[in-house]
Amino acid sequence: MAEKKKKKKRTAAEMHRTVQDQVQALPYAVSHLEKEGKRTQAFIVKYLTGPVLRFINKLMNRTRYKGPEGQKRKQSEQMKRHLEQRQKAVEYMQGELRKAQKRQTKRGPGPGR
């Protein structure tokens, strides 16, 4: 019998981060499902999953950001998230530029060059 690996228990900060990301992505998920024609699933995400996630996020905010040290933690986490998102955006744009340059070199110089 194969041994089962123990799941690594996630910290409250990791779980909170996941919930925050999911809450932030809700409108995009709903519109994506509607575009794919999955109206029932979009309805479930919008009116069942969404409110539950927002409520969980509110509870986690209340417990983790309580008091003056909580405010400092909230500010530092927001700054960290902001910087991570900017870094990801920069990396994405660099990748797109590389792809465009590859396409340009594959084509070769045009007739006017």
Please list the alpha-helical segments (H only) found in the chain.
12-35, 39-44, 50-64, 67-107
Domain boundaries, the chain: 13-64
| pLDDT at residue 113 in the model | 52
Helices 50-64, 12-35: crossing angle, 10 deg rounding: 160
Burial class (CB in 10 A: 0-12, 13-18, 19+), 26: middle
Local confidence pLDDT in tens for the 113 residues of the chain = 567 777 788 887 888 888 988 998 899 999 999 999 999 999 999 999 999 999 999 998 888 888 888 888 888 888 888 898 899 899 999 999 999 998 888 776 656 55
Check: CB of residue 12 under 8 Å from CB of residue 64. yes
| pTM of the entire predicted model | 0.62
Check: CB of residue 64 under 8 Å from CB of residue 16. yes
